[in-house]
Chains A and B, each alone.
Chain A
Amino acid sequence: MVETLRKIFLADLLTGLWVTFKTQRTSNIVTEQYPLERPRVGERFRGAPRLNNNPENGETLCIGCDLCAKACPENLIVVGTERNKETRRLDLTYFTYDLSRCMFCGLCEDACPVDALELTQDFEMASYTRDGLIWDRQMLEEGPRPTPYTR
């Protein structure tokens, strides 16, 4: 009897529809309005790589140890160094990072002993060309320019 009444008055359907109507309040909207509003990504977000400079004198923190290149599963980091005759230390000559093959696993930043290489919170790395995804030292230090969006 109850079962029949439930069927006649579509009780199960109404229970389901009630769930839908309950979420119509504007406070329940969870959609992010990207690109108008940028989402806040986590502090540890693994995004665009950056080569950090010493904030005091602007010199690179990289000591050219090549550990990041060795840790990389995709072999996409190339570190060029030169032995400085005076200080007897390695000077960084070039640093290339092939973003087109990067999977943002974070092994390179784990391997870095001086926190020079870091994956940052930037996530807008699209490029019109494949060459544009191979970042040189300058690009890595300055970071990607934020893309302006207009209507």
Chain B
Amino acid sequence: MTNHLETSEMVLNMGPQHPSTHGVLRLILKLDGERVKSIECVIGYLHRGVEKIGENRTYAQFAPYVDRMDYVAAVSNGLGYCLAVEKLIGIEAPPRAQFVRVIFAELNRIASHLLWLGTSALDLGAMTALFYTMREREDVLKIFENYCGARLTTHAFRIGGLQYELHDTFEAELLAFCASFPARLDEYERLLTQNPIWVDRLKGIGILTAADCKAYAVSGPVLRAAGLPWDLRKAQPYSSYDQFDFDIPTGQNADSYDRYLVRIEEMRQSLRIIRQALDRIPSGPILAKVPKVLKPAPGEIYSSIEAPKGELGYYIVSDGSLQPWRLRVRPPSFLNLAALEKMAVGALVADVVAIIGTLDFVLGEVDR
């Protein structure tokens, strides 16, 4: 009687409609009891062929599509694309445009990390944080809406600079946000940082060492949580990031808890950058002289920026025509997701949720 219990391993499908996979990610888990023996990611449910679309649009026309890859960090995507095309045609945005771009990119980093914080906390059972992070994210999105007319898929920047001059109430809105946000960040930390459940579920979970990070080409907060102070804003400054004073937060234990701490600290640093940029924003034109018809000379470039989730790169090959011959995106989410197997094998099923949460990927960017 006692020997008839079934103890063989079990295959479990997690997703594509699982609430904690943050989109349409399907994980095929092989379980031995509660332990994960192997994990396989099935992606592609959100594939739209963005890179192929890029080959059939002019350079200016493709800009709205990049917003739809990492839709929680649309401004960063737009910035990366505009910088790539500007590098290809050899122009540079005017200083004022560069500062405005920095402000919006950092605001977007805060918005992206806020959404991450809220949803990961929700996955791990701390529902309250979501409501508060959404409230602050709303402030950021309202600034986006007032500036460029859209909240999520902003299309805020144009090749060569900006389309819109800052709106009249911009400074007041931003100062109000800067004034209220540090206290709100402390509020989140009071909710989570010392919370025994939160700590128990994250500490020592999903360790990805610095060597593994390098092997898997992981970038962004996950890499910095492993102790490597690698940030493209410092390593290869773009859009006048070299003029701002900020620190790169790093962790020591390379676990999920450190990733949480790194992202919280990154929001503080973003706020520092925003304050400096707002103080020193130069006057002048916002759009460089861009030819009406963009026809770059044949050639290829790769340009990358530090998006909220890691290194976001654009590789563009031009054949001298109106449209890119090939456009390839190096998305941070896709490469970070590849490290999931390394982290999750041997963990419990509940830990997989924590690991997915703190990896912070967006399926729109993974599948493109």
Point out residues on A near B: beta carbons under 8 Å: 12-13, 15-16, 18-20, 23, 30, 41-46, 71-73, 103-107, 110, 119
B138:A30 contact, CB within 8 angstroms? yes
Q: Is the interface of A mostly helix, strand, loop or mixed?
A: loop
A44:B155 contact, CB within 8 angstroms? no
Residues on B with beta carbons closer than 8 Å to the beta carbon of A71: 60-61
Binds A, one of B1-9, B140-148, B312-320, B331-339: B140-148
B163:A44 contact, CB within 8 angstroms? no
- Residue from A12, A20, A103, A104 having most chain B Cβ neighbours under 10 A: A12
- B23 on the interface (CB 8 Å rule)? no
B194:A41 contact, CB within 8 angstroms? no
B195:A104 contact, CB within 8 angstroms? no
CA distance A130 to B297 in the complex (A): 42
- B150 on the interface (CB 8 Å rule)? yes
Smallest CB separation, B45 vs chain A (Å):
20
Smallest CB separation, A131 vs chain B (Å):
25
The number of residue pairs between A and B whose CB atoms lie closer than 8 Å in the complex comes to: 69
- Residue from B61, B138, B147, B195 having most chain A Cβ neighbours under 10 A: B61
A19 and B149 in contact, given A12-B196, A30-B135, A107-B64 (Cβ under 8 angstroms): no
B149:A119 contact, CB within 8 angstroms? yes
A19:B128 contact, CB within 8 angstroms? yes
Residues on A with beta carbons closer than 8 Å to the beta carbon of B148: 44
B167:A16 contact, CB within 8 angstroms? no
Residues on A with beta carbons closer than 8 Å to the beta carbon of B190: 15-16, 18-19
A46:B61 contact, CB within 8 angstroms? no
- B301 on the interface (CB 8 Å rule)? no
- B65 on the interface (CB 8 Å rule)? yes
CA distance A72 to B145 in the complex (A): 21
CA distance A12 to B196 in the complex (A): 7
Residues on A with beta carbons closer than 8 Å to the beta carbon of B146: 42-44
B153:A103 contact, CB within 8 angstroms? yes
Among candidates B63, B128, B135, B149, residue contacting A46 with C-beta atoms closer than 8 Å: B149
Residues on B with beta carbons closer than 8 Å to the beta carbon of A20: 128
Residues on A with beta carbons closer than 8 Å to the beta carbon of B65: 73
Residues on B with beta carbons closer than 8 Å to the beta carbon of A73: 57, 61-62, 64-65
- B191 on the interface (CB 8 Å rule)? yes
Q: Taking CB as reference atom, which chain B residue is nearest A32?
A: B138
Query: Can you spell out 6 A-B residue pairs with CB atoms less than 8 angstroms apart?
Result: A16-B128, A19-B190, A20-B128, A41-B145, A45-B145, A71-B61
B195:A42 contact, CB within 8 angstroms? no
Residues on B with beta carbons closer than 8 Å to the beta carbon of A41: 145
Residues on B with beta carbons closer than 8 Å to the beta carbon of A30: 135, 138
Among candidates A12, A44, A105, A110, residue contacting B194 with C-beta atoms closer than 8 Å: A12
Among candidates A16, A43, A104, residue contacting B191 with C-beta atoms closer than 8 Å: A16
Residues on A with beta carbons closer than 8 Å to the beta carbon of B63: 105
- B187 on the interface (CB 8 Å rule)? yes
CA distance A44 to B170 in the complex (A): 13
CA distance A41 to B60 in the complex (A): 26
Smallest CB separation, B131 vs chain A (Å):
8
B195:A13 contact, CB within 8 angstroms? yes
A46:B150 contact, CB within 8 angstroms? yes
A15:B64 contact, CB within 8 angstroms? no
Residues on A with beta carbons closer than 8 Å to the beta carbon of B60: 71, 107
Q: Taking CB as reference atom, which chain A residue is nearest B126?
A: A16
CA distance A44 to B196 in the complex (A): 45
- Residue from B57, B135, B138, B149 having most chain A Cβ neighbours under 10 A: B149
A44:B149 contact, CB within 8 angstroms? yes
- Residue from B145, B150, B163 having most chain A Cβ neighbours under 10 A: B150
CA distance A46 to B64 in the complex (A): 13
Instruction: Give a binary string over B185-228; 1 marks a CB under 8 Å from any A CB, 0 the rest.
Output: 00100111011100000000000000000000000000000000
Q: Taking CB as reference atom, which chain A residue is nearest B53?
A: A73
